[in-house]
Structure 1
Amino acid sequence: MEAFKKYSPFVVHTDGTVERIKDTEILQPSPFSDAGVTSKDVDISPNVSVRLYIPHSALSSTTKLTTLVYFHGGGFVAESPFSPIFHTYQDALSAKAGAIIISVNYRLAPEHPLPAAYDDSWEAVEWTVGLSDEWLRDHADLDRLFLAGDSAGGNIVHQMGMRAGKPASKVRLRGLVLVHPFFWGPNLGDTEKEHKELVERMWKMASPPVVGIMQCHWVNWQAEDATPLSKLGCRQVMVCVAELDFLKKKGREYYEALKEIGWEGRVQFVETEGEGHGFHLIKPDCEKARVFMDQLVSFLNHV
């Protein structure tokens, strides 16, 4: 219980209102950042907004750019694209990869429990392929459309990939990047068992009490009602884990499952030794974070 209190990012008052007590700082978009990137905010519906990033030099060019839709982490209950750690990282990644980035501001639980985050994220993906903004119309290469996200955002990436794989979908994805993704289910390892109470308490805030987390297809791709991984709608997947992250085991199992089912795409596994969950966001200037960004950029720009 003490661990849960330590990590809880908000207080739920008796009247039902929610007060977030950490990670509430926001950064404004920049017309020209130190990295040479221009960013702006766009409301795409009453529920969903995005922050767009583009290398400033690309605005005066006709070159089409790799296009990345990004979903932030935070356990479905905290953070936003405007948080310092996410804004700073996307700004740097846009510059390094020479890419347009669409960072999605989806609704958070417990005010808006799942599947609100999934529905909002899919709305942002469809908005992106609709080229509804001038930056996208002039500069986005939808033949190089990727989705990426960390932690809960990595889970969202998986769900978006499954939606893209449905026959009626008009979304065509080049690849997915799942960074320290949140998956759960039976056969927990010792390290996972140490965090089991915390994970289950957080999940109760994020998800309606329809089914227990172990049986929920949103976090357990092996659940009885889960769509088979073979239906994943993309050509390439990069699964990234950190050695000291208790979610590492499930991330590796996801990678192994993609290989074993005979999925026709290309799957890559990246493990960063000696680091924990979200290290690249917490200390982006460390050597291992720089190496990780190089690996991510290489995946995005591989032809």
Structure 2
Amino acid sequence: MSQQPQDQVLCTIDPYQYLHITTNPDGSITRLFSFPTTAASPNADTSSPVLSKDLPLNPNNATFLRLYLPHKAITSSSSPKLPLIVYFHGGGFVLLSASSSINHDFCSEMATQLSAVIVSVEYRLAPEARLPAAYDDAMEALHWLRTTEEKWIREFSDVSSCFLMGTSAGGNMAYYVGLRVAAAVDELGPLKIKGLILHHPFFGGSQRTESEVRLANNPTLPLSGSDLLWELSLPVGADRNHEYCNQTAMRDFSSLFDEIGRLSWEVVLAAADGDPMIDRQMEVVKMLRSRAVKVVDHVGEGVHGMDLLELSKAGPLFNLIKCLIHRCTSIAYPS
């Protein structure tokens, strides 16, 4: 992975205009654009393939979980329990919500296509709550799943067949939360993680990669925009070589990678050839494989987050996830 110093890259896109934000003297930001939201539908009629509902996680932090359940799980008395996918949305740790329409529609489609229960986590956003707040909220969600008596979880999902998944910043979360789980796996029973699904994961670093230089002014995710997102989300005083951002600058996690191997987890990393972060994502694949972690990578044509931007393009991603679920649980999908 060739790299270049930061000052050799010309970024012409104003990151504040791109993100539609302004900063405030107290360190918070004002979000100038209201992303469309969709309400949950716990009592949808039979014409809807998916039911959804919101449940509080931590009222003190205004966090919640949005659950998605395929309607057929309720109407069929003989259906086996469904795999469970815990999903972390994207937005650079700064924007969007579990209730944002783009995330709601994506999770609804996943529940339908994968015949799975989806738990989408509403976590705290930066800079008001900088990392590791989002990771902490994700772990709190997993502990909730371990102990809850919620009917949709206890009756319809198989908590021993759980996958952590995220898009963009959510993919970063699935990665680092996966490491946390590997360090404390005995504390989460009967919840059992089977694999990690990193969808266009959000990583960075102080030195530029070739793909970041080549795609510095990519309108979907310009380099100046990702730089500002990291500035707002990393701990105060940290640079982009902090381990939350730069996977190659992490402290030694060899024992955790060994534990992931012992647990027989699989990692799927889905990337796009027009994503400025593709070089970093492929470096993650290389690093994991060097540590004997089972990894399946897929590079599709398109841009960062394309599967959410155009659901019609999500077929290859869903097929990757179906294959992962089948390998890890023996659940068979119709061809």
Specify if TM > 0.5: yes
Distance (whole Å) between structure 2 residues aligned to residue 198 and residue 18 of structure 1: 15
Paired residue for 2:245?
219
Distance (whole Å) between structure 2 residues aligned to residue 15 and residue 120 of structure 1: 23
The alignment partner of 2:299 has SS state of strand
- CA 160–132 in structure 1, closer or farther in 2 if over 3 Å, else same: farther
Distance (whole Å) between structure 2 residues aligned to residue 217 and residue 36 of structure 1: 40
Post-superposition Cα deviations, 1:38-61, rounded to whole Å, max 9, x if no partner, equal 100000221220100001121244
> Could you tell me which of 152, 155, 178 is aligned with 2:198?
178
- CA 256–149 in structure 1, closer or farther in 2 if over 3 Å, else same: same
User: Aligned runs of 1:101-180 on 2, under 5 Å?
Assistant: 101-167=118-184, 169-171=186-188, 172-180=192-200
User: Aligned runs of 1:1-303 on 2, under 5 Å?
Assistant: 2-14=13-25, 18-30=29-41, 31-32=43-44, 35-46=48-59, 47=61, 48-60=63-75, 61=77, 63-167=80-184, 169-171=186-188, 172-185=192-205, 188-193=208-213, 194=216, 196-214=223-241, 216-228=242-254, 230-231=257-258, 233=260, 235-263=265-293, 266-273=294-301, 275-285=302-312, 288-302=313-327, 303=330
User: 200-209 or 240-249: which moved more?
Assistant: 200-209
What's the offset of the Cα at 1:224? 4.9
User: 10-19 or 167-176: which moved more?
Assistant: 10-19
- CA 204–95 in structure 1, closer or farther in 2 if over 3 Å, else same: same
Higher relative contact order by CA 8 Å / sep ≥ 6: 1 or 2? 2
What's the offset of the Cα at 1:207? 1.7
- The amino acid that maps onto 1:4 is P
The total of aligned residue pairs comes to 297
The alignment partner of 2:237 has SS state of coil
Distance (whole Å) between structure 2 residues aligned to residue 7 and residue 231 of structure 1: 41
Post-superposition Cα deviations, 1:177-220, rounded to whole Å, max 9, x if no partner, equal 00000112365323314355433322111122232112x11122
Distance (whole Å) between structure 2 residues aligned to residue 168 and residue 92 of structure 1: 30
What's the offset of the Cα at 1:267? 1.3
Distance (whole Å) between structure 2 residues aligned to residue 261 and residue 239 of structure 1: 16
- CA 43–256 in structure 1, closer or farther in 2 if over 3 Å, else same: same
Distance (whole Å) between structure 1 residues aligned to residue 164 and residue 108 of structure 2: 16
The alignment partner of 2:311 has SS state of coil
What's the offset of the Cα at 1:131? 3.3
The alignment partner of 1:77 has SS state of coil
- The amino acid that maps onto 2:67 is L
User: 194-203 or 205-214: which moved more?
Assistant: 194-203
What's the offset of the Cα at 1:14? 4.2
Distance (whole Å) between structure 2 residues aligned to residue 211 and residue 51 of structure 1: 32
The alignment partner of 2:67 has SS state of strand
TM-score, L = length of structure 2: 0.82
- CA 35–3 in structure 1, closer or farther in 2 if over 3 Å, else same: farther
* Equivalent pair of 1:80/1:105 in contact (CA under 8 Å): yes
The alignment partner of 1:222 has SS state of helix
Distance (whole Å) between structure 2 residues aligned to residue 38 and residue 248 of structure 1: 35
- The amino acid that maps onto 1:249 is D
Distance (whole Å) between structure 2 residues aligned to residue 223 and residue 132 of structure 1: 40
* Equivalent pair of 1:23/1:83 in contact (CA under 8 Å): no
Identical aligned residues as a percent: 31
Distance (whole Å) between structure 2 residues aligned to residue 232 and residue 183 of structure 1: 23
* Equivalent pair of 1:164/1:232 in contact (CA under 8 Å): no
Post-superposition Cα deviations, 1:250-287, rounded to whole Å, max 9, x if no partner, equal 11111111111223xx31111102x00000100112xx
- CA 13–188 in structure 1, closer or farther in 2 if over 3 Å, else same: closer
TM-score, L = length of structure 1: 0.90
What's the offset of the Cα at 1:227? 2.4
- CA 258–124 in structure 1, closer or farther in 2 if over 3 Å, else same: same
The alignment partner of 1:103 has SS state of strand
Identify unmatched segments of 5+ residues in structure 2: 1-11, 217-221, 331-335
